């Protein structure tokens, strides 16, 4: 199912709540869901590097880390 939702391979998942889900992928892609994963919206990361980790402290503040020491806030 995931392969049909995203353009790139998901590499990390973060569940802020049971409704708020964040996913980081290859090539700098990231997605968020506010409905428990029924739908996802692409997020602009400004990066084209693989993102191996993602985390959020609330719906507005998040972090991602990836290939070649990529750090996003």
Would you give per-residue pLDDT tens digits along the chain (73 residues)?
454 578 889 999 999 999 999 999 999 999 999 999 999 999 999 999 999 999 999 999 999 999 988 898 8
pTM, 2 dp: 0.88
- Taking alpha carbons only, the member of 2, 65, 68 closest to residue 33 is 2
Round to whole Å and give the CA distance between 42 and 53.
16
Other CB atoms within 10 Å distance of the CB of residue 6: 16
């Amino acid at each position: 199912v995931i392969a049909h939702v995203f353009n790139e391979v998901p590499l990390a998942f973060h569940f802020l709540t049971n409704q708020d889900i964040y996913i980081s992928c290859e090539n700098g892609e990231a997605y968020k869901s506010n409905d428990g994963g029924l739908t996802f919206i692409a997020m602009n990361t400004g990066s084209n590097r693989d993102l191996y980790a993602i985390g959020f402290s609330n719906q507005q503040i998040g972090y991602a880390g990836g290939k070649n020491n990529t750090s996003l806030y």
